[in-house]
Amino acid sequence: MELFVFVVAAAMVLAGAIGVVTRSNPVHAAMSLVLTLFGIAVMFVVHNAHFLAAVQVIVYAGAIVVLFLFVIMLLGVDKAEDLSVEPITNQRPLAAIIGAGVSGILIAAIVTSRAGRGPMGTGVNETTVQSPDANIRQLARVIFSDNVFAFEITSVLLLVAVVGTVVMARRAKSVGTGK
């Protein structure tokens, strides 16, 4: 059963990834991205990271991709990009080499290491919690005790990002031409 789930999810992920890279229409590329994100969410569920799967779908697929689509529509860049011509010489073969290199090295590292040989764990420390929603409980326990400082900083980061972007992207009326 797990094999079947793996194969289907992997297919979704790879199909979406290749779609993002190869589709010339940006809206199509965004849709492919959504496919990838859903596949990743499925894999999260397989690994008993239920909370993260939900968050992935809500935040990533639901907010970030929608934001992408908003910008695409706002700027009107939904016209297709011409993919047949590559202005920088040798960029595509070199990109292929780099991509293959990165993945190859990582795969080599994975294969030669001793981790990941055994069966999958459950993602839950069975001895501490007994209830069905143990994943959220355990996650919350760690975030709000050991990592509360990082949590607070991250929320400040979000605030700063939003304020900064608003300031940056508005049309300045008094300075003259928008910048």
The reply on whether position 77 binds another protein by CB under 8 A is yes
Q: How far is CA 12 from the centre of its chain?
A: 14
SS (H, E, C) 87-145: CCCCHHHHHHHHHHHHHHHHHHHHHHCCCCCCCCCCCCCCCCCCCCCHHHHHHHHHHHH
How far is Cα 179 from Cα 169, in angstroms, rounded to an integer? 8
Is the Cβ–Cβ distance between 79 and 23 less than 8 Å?
Answer: no
**Which of 130, 168, 175, 176 touches another protein (CB under 8 A)?**
168
How near is the Cβ of 79 to another protein at its closest, in Å? 8
The reply on whether position 148 binds another protein by CB under 8 A is no
In the range 23-42, which residues lie near another protein by CB under 8 A? 26, 29-30, 33, 36-37, 40
How near is the Cβ of 161 to another protein at its closest, in Å? 4
Pick from 36, 12, 34, 32: nearest CA to 24: 32
**Which of 8, 73, 103, 148 touches another protein (CB under 8 A)?**
103
**Which of 74, 130, 131, 175 touches another protein (CB under 8 A)?**
74
Is the Cβ–Cβ distance between 32 and 23 less than 8 Å?
Answer: yes
Q: Which amino acid, one-letter code, is at 7?
A: V
How near is the Cβ of 130 to another protein at its closest, in Å? 16
The reply on whether position 132 binds another protein by CB under 8 A is no
How near is the Cβ of 145 to another protein at its closest, in Å? 11
The reply on whether position 57 binds another protein by CB under 8 A is no
Residue 58 has what DSSP assignment? Answer: I
**Which of 117, 131, 132, 173 touches another protein (CB under 8 A)?**
117
Q: How far is CA 13 from the centre of its chain?
A: 11
**Which of 8, 73, 148, 157 touches another protein (CB under 8 A)?**
157
How near is the Cβ of 93 to another protein at its closest, in Å? 11
